[in-house]
Structure 1
Amino acid sequence: MRITRTHVIAAFVAVAASAGIAAPAIAADTAVGKYVALGDSYASGLGAGGYIDDDCKRSSNAYAQLWANDHAPSAFEFVACSGAQTADVVANQVGVITEDTELVTIAIGGNDAGFADVMTDCNLGSDDACVTRNQEAQAFAQAELPGRLDGVYAEIRNRAPSARVIVVGYPRIYTLDGDCSVGLSETKRTAINQSADVLADVISARTAAAGFEFLDGRTAFAGHEICAPGDDWWLNSVTFPISESYHPNAAGQSGYHAALVGMTG
């Protein structure tokens, strides 16, 4: 196991406590090394407002930025970009990873499988058309996406052999039989959630194969999907600008952040 500054500090605090010695306060920036945040719009924070980058829609409310604010890493590279696919991560994002990187987070794969088009087709088309489009996306996710993810994950590991890598998954979009009286039919909502499950299954399997950790967005967002009782939704429904539709709002990014903190401390 690679010994990091975090391990050393934790050991010191444990020894001090057992000896009845009050451990001195240690600043967060002495305990956390370089952090790199990769991915697509779910990682950049599209839909959460507070944008600090117009092209990629990186948000000050994104989970990566919130984590960096809390932990003050020695270096922080936030390069996630709205619209990114796996090939874009390899071509434009992984270059910021260096051997001293201690933590990498990444959310990617939804755009490869065409889930933006899925949501458009489901909003504009019939139930049958929506179900068919979801089945096409699911088939792609199962057949083509694994190889693409493997390539991205291998690139990350090659560049930072000792980094901790957390793959952030997508949530289900809807609470079924929820409180929405208008909008997409229950048939469409069911098909969309099935696609979210397929995507999560594929990503989690490839994450495990790479030896990385998986943050399940379905668990993190449970009870806060669109149509959840109480209107405490962590996802935008159809909104303006339209590109922010079906993306986590600021509360959703905060929910991702809480889940990430739960994994990392």
Structure 2
Amino acid sequence: MSKVEAVTTLTSHAERRRIALVVAALLAALGLVLGAAVAGPADAASAAVSTAKPVKPGKPGGGGGNGGGGGGGTTELEYAALGDSFASGVGAGSYLETSCYTSSKSYPKLLDGDADKALVAFPACSGRDTADVLNRQIAIIPTTAKVVTVTVGGNDVGFADVMQNCFVFPGSSCSSKIAAGAAIAGSPGFTNSIVNVVDGIQARAPGAKVIVAGYPLLFWENGSGVNPKYAWADEVNDETVVLNDVIEAAATSAGAVFVDVEDDFAGHGIGSSSPWINDWRWVSSTNSFHPNASGYVAYAAAIRAVPLS
């Protein structure tokens, strides 16, 4: 082998190694944003305690403080927020911790700023599913809670697999991942999981109003039903509608209130002129395919419309 060939070979090996390391790092980041990297129960429980606050005395009727004595104030209701990354606030930035990626701009924290609610438990966590809500998160709710919100189900039907195979590394397996998620969403087992979540919350906090918030459609579509950037966007939107319908039917049958945010996000999906959903970005993969701060404002507004009495 000549010196030139030797140098070329070494350069080629170094380049391949560099590319392999970069790809490995990016895949690790991808796993984090899509919920594949799941915090352990101990970490998540710690996050739930540290990011929730007790009843705030500075609010009207908040128990002393500036409220003045004797009636006329608004009584704060103890509020708990459960669910997955859409409940913890992934996509909004301003993260309070990086085990569950709870955000100060999440809809639970925005609702905590209302005069009538105090967020006392916030176990929602990126990457979690109905099993985690049932087996871990519900136990963190105070039995005296009067409002409980939950957004969950997306990870049960393979959100991470669909995002990775249809939009990050699109390929021939995209359609099978969508079909697999649709099959799970249409199964009796998934319906039972949603019912069990509502039943479990009601058993833990019998006096609570349970509010189940659905998912926004991630992608904007033009008049022809096409997203200019992503070929599979319309199918994923269609399956999201189906998923929301299943969650709504199950949740309401168990006595919860369902909040459908599809209309609230209409015209603000990925590809729109004013997106409330973060597109895929390698440099900010943690936020990708989740609402931005404006999106969580819309979530909070939709939930506020539910009467609490």
**Hey, what's the Cα distance between the residues in 1 that align with 2:161 and 2:293?**
23
Task: State the secondary structure of the residue aligned to 2:149.
Answer: strand
> Residue 246 of structure 2 is aligned with which of 180, 199, 202?
202
Q: State the distance in 2 between where 1:66 and 1:173 align.
A: 21
TM-score calculated relative to the size of structure 2: 0.71
Match of 1:238 in 2: 280
Which residue type is aligned with residue 209 of structure 1? S
8 Å contact 1:146–1:203 — kept in the other structure? yes
* Mapped pair 1:183 → 2:229: yes
Displacement of 1:112 after TM fit?
0.8
Secondary structure (helix, strand or coil) at the match of 1:220 reads coil
Bigger Cα displacement from structure 2, 248-257 vs 154-163? 154-163
Check if 1:168 corresponds to 2:208: no
Q: 2-side partners of 1:167 and 1:175: how far apart?
A: 24
| CA distance in 1: counterparts of 2:115 and 2:108, whole angstroms | 11
Contact in 2 for aligned 1:130/1:191 (Cα 8 Å): no
Structure having greater relative contact order (Cα 8 Å, sep ≥ 6): 1
Q: CA deviation at 1:75?
A: 5.4
Higher helix proportion = 1
**CA positional deviation for 1:131:** 2.7
| Alpha-carbon distance, 1:70 to partner | 1.7
For the pair 1:256 / 2:294, whether they are aligned, the reply is no
Q: 1:75 to 1:168 in 2, by over 3 A?
A: closer
* 2:292 partner letter: N
| Counterpart secondary structure, 1:156 | helix
Please state if 1:90 is matched with 2:134.
yes
Residue 66 (structure 1) aligns with = 110
Q: Which residue of 2 aligns with 1:15?
A: none
* 1:129-173 deviations in Å (ceiling 9; x for gaps): 323321211111111311211221111111112210100100111
Pairwise CA distance, 1:213: 0.4
- Aligned-residue offset at 1:53: 1.6
Give, as a single letter, the amino acid of the residue that structure 2 aligns with 1:172.
L
1:44 aligned partner: 88
CA RMSD of aligned residues (A): 2.3
Which of 158, 164, 174 in structure 2 is aligned with 1:114? 158
Give the AA of the match of 2:229.
Answer: G
Q: How far is the alpha carbon of 1:26 from its aligned partner?
A: 4.2
- The alpha-carbon deviation at position 116 of structure 1 amounts to 1.5
Native 8 Å contact 1:131 1:191 kept in 2 = no
Q: How does 1:3-152 map to 2 (within 5 A)?
A: 26-28=72-74, 31-71=75-115, 73-74=117-118, 76-123=120-167, 124-126=169-171, 129-143=173-187, 144-152=189-197
State the secondary structure of the residue aligned to 2:82: strand
Equivalent-residue separation in structure 1 for 2:178 and 2:164 (angstroms)? 11
| Contact 1:36 1:77 survives alignment (8 Å) | yes
Paired-residue identity, %: 37
For residues 22-63 of structure 1, what are the alpha-carbon distances to aligned partners after superposition, in whole Å with 9 as ceiling and x for unaligned?
xx99444xx222100001000000110111121110000001
Unaligned runs of 5+ in 2: 1-69
What TM-score, normalized to structure 1?
0.82
Q: Give the count of matched residue pairs.
A: 236
